[in-house]
Structure 1
Amino acid sequence: MVRSVPEDVTELVMASDGYPVIGRTLAESESVLADLLERDPWCVRELAGTKGVLAGQTSFDDRAYLRLRI
């Protein structure tokens, strides 16, 4: 799929579904995710999804975050 970026856009942030909230920075996105995982480590309430965080893990291993200045 190809999408056009409006001419007035100067920054574009994209992330995989491992980030339930995409922040303006990677740190912001990580912070929100950490807070959600602390409250719902099994991902059955606020962070309802297909997997929880296993013992000994701190988060998911399949996240991607890209921030571009245009």
Structure 2
Amino acid sequence: SGVDIENVELISKEIGTLLGQNEENSKKGGLLITHLGYILRFVDATHAHVLIDGKIARTGNPEEIMTDIRKSGFGEA
């Protein structure tokens, strides 16, 4: 939280290394929480879930979900 934009890419690279994103057939996974989605430019996320009032409101492609949220807000997620 509160990471400046310049360091998001650096942190994202480290997350990718920890999750084995450059390893073939990596079985590692992680949970990344974001409100703005900027980190998705640097992390190869395969799934996204939107929580609203403690319940999963939507599951799907991270880029599609963030595009919809940017257009309509979280209420339409």
Asked whether the two chains share a fold, i.e. TM above 0.5, the reply is no
Structure with greater proportional helix content: 2
Structure 2 length-normalised TM: 0.27
Structure having greater relative contact order (Cα 8 Å, sep ≥ 6): 1
Say which one has the larger Rg. Answer: 1
